[in-house]
Amino acid sequence: MSRVGLKPIQLPDTVTFSKEGNVVAIKGPKGEIKIEIRPEIEVEAKDKELIVKRENDSKLAKSLHGLTRSLIANMVQGVVEGFSKSLEIQGTGYRASLEGKNLKLIVGFSHPVVIEPPEGIELKVEENKFIHVSGVNKQLVGQLAAKIRDVKKPEPYKGKGIRYQNEFVKIKPGKTVKAATEGGST
């Protein structure tokens, strides 16, 4: 039994729910998101609540029950509050800037890396080293933030690269030179 799937989803007054066939649409103050759900899952609206039910107790229906409820709950949260991820660039000469909607990264390569955000995702750059990714779709926000981080992951010796804000990068000690008096002959 899915404990997550049984929890009802509260709909605020500013959010509207509609369903056409297997497509569920959630519309709120920040935008609209649509998702196609599987035929094994049913979504009902009752008294400013959404209830996710499954048709039968097959293994597939059970596995989709909690997943669908979580996706719809994230949609409701996204159109009300939105989602955001923040990244930080560390390294001498490393910087970021916006050219229109595109993000331009200069992170030690022979050429700048340009990243184009998908529809509905907004990028902001502060002080040439902080990047903020925001939008209504949790999956797209996380995916774009991971793509930006993959351009230059933080390296373990000096910590240079792109990292999530408040991410801890364990720094490895470098090679040490043995003292000349140890094992040396005179």
CA-based nearest residue to 88, from 145, 141, 170: 145
Report whether pLDDT(175) > 80: yes
Tell me how many degrees the CA angle 77-134-169 measures, rounded to the nearest 5.
Answer: 105
Q: What is the DSSP string of 156-177?
A: TTT--EEEETT---PPPP---P
- pLDDT tens for 123-165 read 999 999 999 999 999 999 999 999 999 999 999 999 899 999 9
What average pLDDT does the chain have? 91
User: Looking at the predicted structure, is the pLDDT value of residue 174 above 90?
Assistant: no
Q: What is the pLDDT of residues 75-91, one digit of tens each?
A: 999 999 999 999 999 99
- Determine whether 71 is exposed, middle or buried from the number of CB atoms within 10 Å of its CB (0-12, 13-18, 19+): middle
Counting residues of the chain whose pLDDT is more than 90, the rounded percentage is: 78
- Alpha-carbon distance of 88 to 129, in angstroms, equals 6
Q: Both tokens of residue 49? A: 């609540």
- What is the share, in percent, of the chain residues with pLDDT greater than 70? 95
Domains of the chain as residue ranges with CATH: 3-80 (3.90.930.12), 83-164 (3.90.930.12)
Beta strands at 83-90 and 130-135: parallel, antiparallel or unpaired: antiparallel
**CA gap 89, 96 in Å, rounded:** 8
Residue 180: pLDDT band with limits 50, 70, 90? low
Q: What is the pTM of this model?
A: 0.85
- At 78, give phi and psi (nearest 5°): -65, -40
